Amino acid sequence: MKKKRIIPFVLSISIGAAVLLSTFVTLQGSEYPEQSKEVFSPGDRVTLTDTNLVDVLHELSLNTPISKVKWSKNVLTLDLKVTGSSIVPSDIYIDMASIASFSMDRTSNVNQLMLRFLAEDEWIGSRHLLLSADIRRSEWSSEALKKLKEWKNAELPEELIQRFHMTETNLWREQFISPEKG
């Protein structure tokens, strides 16, 4: 007779302990929300494909509009259009940082990002290369990204130029880095 009572007793104790432990974990998480939140989880990563490319890139808020996109063999290539005189180098650096962060932190399959910033003359339709970058996942650095995002001067330090494999054209230097422009 006592064996019949022990099984339900042990079962109720086990269920009660499970409920108490789950309640305790929930309370601990709400007591310290800033410590329990994950800043980025691998589950948030997007696998870039031809079918979702436009939708995913449309979510980026950029100062310079995208004029051309190519996706091939884990290489994302973007041309960005620089028009008018209201764009300053820090706007371009912020865009470069935003696209690089998206490509390296939020996607699972972009191994290389090729960026070109092109000056476009709306009157005659000519395009001229200003600045390019070749950013590789194997050389990715969050510290360099932060520095690029916060950089306010037109002239970048050599460390960032090397890290992001940037090429500055004569037109870029004349327009933004010349002594007259600051």
pLDDT in tens, 160-171: 999 999 999 999
**Would you state the pLDDT for residue 23?**
58
Nearest Cα to Cα of residue 95 among 74, 75, 81: 81
As a whole number of angstroms, the distance between CA 169 and CA 64 comes to: 18
Beta-strand runs (E) in the chain:
66-72, 75-82, 112-120, 127-136, 167-168
3-state helix, strand, coil in the chain (%, to 5): 45, 20, 30
pLDDT in tens, 35-93: 433 334 445 788 999 999 999 999 899 999 999 999 999 999 999 999 877 889 999 99
pLDDT in tens, 105-161: 999 999 999 999 999 877 777 899 999 999 999 998 989 999 999 998 889 999 999
Backbone angles phi, psi at 181, to 5 degrees: -85, -20
pLDDT in tens, 19-39: 555 655 555 554 444 443 333
Strand, coil or helix: 20: helix
Task: Give the tokens for residue 172.
Answer: 């870029």
**Would you state the pLDDT for residue 110?**
96
**Would you state the pLDDT for residue 57?**
92
Nearest Cα to Cα of residue 101 among 93, 166, 161, 54: 93
Label residue 9 by pLDDT band (50, 70, 90).
low
Helix 142-150 to helix 89-105 angle (10° resolution) is 160
Nearest Cα to Cα of residue 115 among 131, 101, 128: 131
**Would you state the pLDDT for residue 139?**
92
DSSP alpha helix (H) spans, 32-119: 33-36, 53-58, 89-105
